[in-house]
Amino acid sequence: MLVDVTAEVIANTRLSSAYNVLALRAPGVAAAAEPGHFVMVKAAASHDPLLRRPFSVFEVLRDHSGASVGITLLNKRIGPSTGLLYAAQPGQFVACLGPLGHPFTIVDPPAEAWMIAGGVGLAPFAMLAERLRARGVRTTLFYGARSAAELFYLDFFRQLGINLVLTTEDGSMGEPGRIVEPLDRHLTARARHEPVMLYACGPERMLAATASLAIRCGRPCQVSVERVMGCGMGGCYSCVVPMRTAEGGFHHVRACLTGPVLAADQILWD
């Protein structure tokens, strides 16, 4: 069920000079959210910035009885709206519309789940990790960032029993380089008869490289694509993605409606 709410900021936890986690009181959104869903958020009461911006639902917050009370967003400050969300104070209000989009399809054992996150692409995986572990799915997080200071929530994932494979571009934690490099090795070493579902979110080049590895190794792969989204509801066509058709041609889908989670092998990456 879609909910449009003026959500109170419950807390704002700064993780670094660019990243924060914003907790919003939005019980209706929280109750309906599934891993991979997003919300459209308007950070300012004024007309600047005019349009809402898309954010993955990072966590669902619950009270002591287990009832959903709100959501968090993992926010990376890159422009006006994300800057306002970084600066938001508890007690302020933001407009929040959601949950929107097509979420991840969650596997069951004996399939394993490998989540591949680049930078702020970690955002949909806290919730997905909880759901996978609740089903008893063995889960690995391949997580790459620029430096150790930008690898967040590691203890959260460890406490869920998630295996971590980490890379940093400057070598300050985990393996130096990009996350697709250890992913390539793990995929190549994996016995063909052992089922693995890949879930990926991050920069487009990382998604394209992950898709290419998945296709080469014959593994299913769901990617959450990032597109500029003007409305989040199918009205503006700012978010189109070229996809293959069954007849061998291609057509455009709107990432806000058909996605943001799409089958990696159906996307035309060039």
Ligand X SMILES: Cc1cc2nc3c(=O)[nH]c(=O)nc-3n(C[C@H](O)[C@H](O)[C@H](O)COP(=O)(O)OP(=O)(O)OC[C@H]3O[C@@H](n4cnc5c(N)ncnc54)[C@H](O)[C@@H]3O)c2cc1C
Residue 38 gets which letter from DSSP?
Answer: E
Q: Identify residues 231-260 at the interface with ligand X (CB under 6 A).
A: 260
Residues 95-154 that bind ligand FES (CB under 6 A): none
Q: What's the closest the beta carbon of residue 255 comes to ligand FES, in angstroms?
A: 6
* Minimal distance, residue 256 CB to ligand X, in Å: 7
Q: Taking Cα atoms as reference points, which of 212, 228, 203 lies closest to residue 264? A: 212
Q: Does 49 bind ligand X (CB under 6 A)?
A: yes
Q: Does 87 bind ligand X (CB under 6 A)?
A: no
Q: CA torsion 33→200→212→249, rounded to 10°?
A: 20
Contact with ligand FES (CB under 6 A) among 209, 214, 239, 253? 239
Exactly one of 20, 21, 30, 53 binds ligand X (CB under 6 A); that residue is 53
Stretch that binds ligand X, among 81-89, 137-145, 213-221, 245-253 (CB under 6 A): 81-89
230 binding ligand FES? (CB under 6 A): yes
Q: Which residues fall within 8 angstroms of residue 56, CB to CB, at 6 or more apart?
A: 36, 37, 38, 73, 74, 123, 124, 201, 224
Least CB distance to ligand FES at residue 161 (A): 36
- CA neighbor of 207 nearest in space, from 227, 225, 191: 225
Cβ(142)–Cβ(158) under 8 Å?
no
Give the DSSP letter string of 217-260.
Answer: HT--EEEE-----SSSSSSS-TTEEEEE-TTS-EEEEETTTT-B
- 237: partner contacted, choices ligand FES, ligand X, none (Cβ within 5-8 A by kind): ligand FES
Number of residues that bind ligand X (CB under 6 A): 23
Taking every pair of Cα atoms in the chain, the longest distance, rounded to a whole number of angstroms, is: 56
Q: Which of 111, 107, 116, 129 is CA-nearest to residue 35?
A: 129
**230 makes contact with ligand X (CB under 6 A):** no
- Tell which phi-psi region holds residue 66, choosing left (phi > 0), alpha (psi between -120 and 50) or beta: left
**Cβ nearer to ligand X, comparing 70 with 182:** 70
Q: Which of 20, 75, 210, 258 binds ligand X (CB under 6 A)?
A: 75
Is 238 one of the binding residues for ligand FES (CB under 6 A)?
yes
| Interaction of residue 123 with ligand X, rule CB under 6 A | yes
Q: What is the closest distance, in whole angstroms, from the C-beta atom of residue 83 to ligand X in the complex?
A: 6
Instruction: By CB under 6 A, name the binding residues for ligand X.
Output: 38, 49, 53-56, 73-76, 78-83, 120, 123, 226-229, 260
Judged by the rule CB under 6 A, the positions of this chain that interact with ligand FES are 229-232, 234-239, 254, 256
